[in-house]
Amino acid sequence: GESVGLHLPTLSVQEGDNSIINCAYSNSASDYFIWYKQESGKGPQFIIDIRSNMDKRQGQRVTVLLNKTVKHLSLQIAATQPGDSAVYFCAENLKAAGNKLTFGGGTRVLVKP
């Protein structure tokens, strides 16, 4: 079936550097994408979202890029901080399927001091 996946399972980043987390999706009909951050022992926390009619969206220190041509999604974190250490999930949503999310397997980001 259709699925969302991630290229890198673990990403080590030096504090202060920028982080880039990648995600591939296979359902070209997906119309909404979300990035979640999950810290140990916590539930997923919403970071940023983007609709399929957009290519880029910026938040506070985070930017999501959507390339529909190659069905690729990325999350950029500027000036990575120790508090950014977590597992990051991308999820795709197909509104026609009742706002149900399909999650990828997650990427762990480790910030080195």
Partner 1 sequence: NAGVTQTPKFRILKIGQSMTLQCAQDMNHNYMYWYRQDPGMGLKLIYYSVGAGITDKGEVPNGYNVSRSTTEDFPLRLELAAPSQTSVYFCASSKTARNNQPQHFGDGTRLSIL
Provide the binding-site residues for partner 1, judged by CB under 8 A.
Answer: 31-32, 34, 36, 41-46, 49, 51, 89, 93, 95, 98-101, 103-106
Question: Can you tell me whether residue 23 is helix, strand or coil?
Answer: strand
* Contact (CB, 8 A) for 50 and 58: no
Q: Cβ 70 to partner 1, closest distance in Å?
A: 21
95 vs 112 by CB, closer to partner 1: 95
First to last CA, the chain: 41
15 vs 101 by CB, closer to partner 1: 101
DSSP 55: S
Which single residue is written with the structure tokens 């762990």?
Answer: 108
Q: Cβ 45 to partner 1, closest distance in Å?
A: 7
For residue 20, the Cα-to-chain-centroid distance in whole angstroms is: 9
76 vs 103 by CB, closer to partner 1: 103
